[in-house]
């Protein structure tokens, strides 16, 4: 099976680009409900799997031992903007553990948040690791590492934390990982199929509040993400906007190279998709369409991404993104 057309870019009345991809919806038993393209396509889930990487943090008792809040659990699953909200939250989290910026292993980059970036420029300050969009995930990793008394190089693939993450990853995807790559934040990113990623999201969706330690952890992480969408991404980001639109009923997460997942507890469904060319305008359109198809997102809210105007530097509408014919129906 090959990738299918999911989204198109039109300009001047002409089709300019077509984005191909794969998508799978799984139910609570891990079975495929619907699929487009090739469910067996092996991908790096990138940041879309952060809730899976956070499972050891919660199921080990490390989160409770550190007194983590729902907002902090959401931040442990985040690809945040590096806004003051996020930077201060990570700084305070680590300070409460007796740790600091130097303990992080994610590296630094300019914040995506314009206000914080402008503040750095005006004060002649430099970005630090707190600004890294993965610093919340790394704060969670440090929390677990401190809890079990492991060494400081927690991003090493052989570290006890990464072994625990791999075990959780393989258990929830129902697959032996196809290997790993090193993510932008220096942590290992384990590979799986699109089907496996959807199966893992369905596990999160169906996880009861009173169950095994892993099920309870999945339940808590899902609700934390849905309850604190501003910590998962940030203002103007699709994850935050769409979760707000769905009123805390659904947790969604994007990943680099146009991966997107969704956890639908009320429906006990998990969604995963990958756009072949790595373009996020297409992954945002596709996830919005699938959320609408599942009955958890209104057509009006989905249209922000499924009928998205493209504007130039003067604000003129130059084209639009739309769903490809036949997707997802």
pLDDT of residue 329: 81
Structurally, the chain folds into a number of domains equal to 1
pLDDT means over runs of 10, the chain (329 residues): 96 97 98 98 98 98 98 98 98 98 98 97 97 98 98 98 98 98 98 98 98 98 98 98 98 98 98 98 98 98 98 97 96
Distance CA 190, CA 187 (A): 10
pLDDT at residue 13, as a whole number = 95
Q: Determine how many CB atoms are found less than 10 A away from the CB of residue 118.
A: 11
**How far is residue 284's CA from residue 241's CA, in Å, rounded to a whole number?**
11
pLDDT in tens, 133-180: 999 999 999 999 999 999 999 999 999 999 999 999 999 999 999 999
User: Which residue bears the tokens 């509040």?
Assistant: 209
In a domain, 316, yes or no: yes
Q: What's residue 55's pLDDT?
A: 98
pLDDT tens digits along 266-302: 999 999 999 999 999 999 999 999 999 999 999 999 9
In a domain, 143, yes or no: yes
Per residue in 47-80, is it b (16+ CB within 10 Å) or e — as a string? bbbbbbbbbbbbbbebbeebebebbbbbbbbbbb
**How high is the pLDDT of residue 1?**
81
pTM reported for the whole predicted model:
0.97
Q: Is 111 exposed, middle or buried (0-12, 13-18, 19+ CB in 10 A)?
A: buried
The CA-to-CA distance between both ends of the chain, in Å, stands at 18
For 175-212, give one letter per residue: b (16+ CB within 10 A) or e.
bebeebeebbbbbbbbbbbbbbbbbbbbbbbbbeeeee
Residue corresponding to tokens 């469904």 = 269
What is the β-pairing status of strands 251-255 and 192-193? unpaired
Question: What is the predicted pLDDT for the residue at 122?
Answer: 97
Q: Bridge-partner residues for 262, per DSSP? A: 252, 271
- Residue 329: inside a domain, yes or no? no
Tell me, yes or no, whether 328 lies in a domain.
Answer: no
DSSP state of 103: G
Q: Give domain status of residue 299, yes or no.
A: yes
Helix (H, G, I), strand (E, B) or coil at 284: helix
Predicted local distance difference test score (pLDDT) of residue 223: 98
Does the N-terminal peptide bond of residue 328 adopt cis geometry, omega within 30 degrees of 0? Answer: yes
pLDDT on residue 294? 98
Domain that holds residue 51: 4-323
- In-domain check, residue 94: yes
**Joined tokens for residue 70:** 């729902």
* Residue 85, C-beta contacts closer than 8 angstroms, at least 6 positions apart: 230, 231, 234
In a domain, 202, yes or no: yes
**What span, in angstroms and rounded, lies between the C-alpha atoms of 172 and 321?**
34
CATH number at residue 34: 3.40.710
Residue 211 domain-assigned (yes or no): yes
């Amino acid at each position: 099976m090959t990738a299918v057309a999911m989204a198109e870019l039109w300009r001047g009345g002409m089709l300019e680009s077509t984005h191909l991809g794969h998508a799978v919806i799984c139910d609570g038993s891990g079975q495929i409900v619907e699929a487009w393209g090739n469910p067996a396509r092996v991908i790096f889930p990138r940041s879309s799997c952060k809730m899976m990487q956070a499972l050891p943090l919660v199921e080990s008792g490390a989160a409770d031992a550190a007194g983590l809040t729902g907002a902090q659990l959401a931040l442990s699953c985040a690809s945040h903007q590096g806004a003051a909200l996020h930077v201060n939250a990570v700084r305070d989290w680590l300070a409460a553990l007796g740790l600091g910026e130097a303990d992080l292993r994610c590296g630094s980059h300019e914040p995506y948040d314009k206000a914080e970036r402008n503040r750095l420029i005006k004060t002649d300050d430099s970005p630090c690791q707190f600004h890294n969009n993965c610093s919340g995930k790394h704060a969670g990793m440090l929390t677990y590492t401190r809890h079990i008394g492991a060494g400081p190089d927690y991003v090493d693939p052989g570290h006890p934390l990464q072994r625990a993450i791999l075990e959780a990853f393989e258990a929830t995807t129902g697959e032996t990982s196809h290997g790993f790559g090193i993510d932008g934040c220096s942590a290992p990113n384990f590979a799986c199929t699109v089907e496996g990623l959807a199966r893992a999201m369905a596990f999160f969706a169906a996880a009861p509040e009173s169950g095994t330690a892993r099920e309870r952890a999945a339940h808590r992480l899902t609700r934390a993400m849905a309850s604190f969408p501003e910590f998962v991404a940030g203002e103007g980001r699709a994850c935050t906007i769409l979760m707000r639109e769905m009123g805390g009923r659904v947790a969604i997460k994007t990943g680099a190279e146009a991966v997107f997942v969704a956890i639908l507890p009320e429906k006990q469904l998990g969604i995963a998709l990958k756009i072949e060319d790595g373009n996020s305008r297409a992954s945002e359109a596709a996830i919005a369409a699938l959320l609408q198809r599942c009955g958890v997102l209104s057509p009006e809210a989905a249209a922000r991404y499924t009928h998205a105007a493209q504007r130039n530097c003067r604000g003129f509408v130059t084209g639009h993104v739309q769903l490809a014919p036949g997707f997802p129906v």
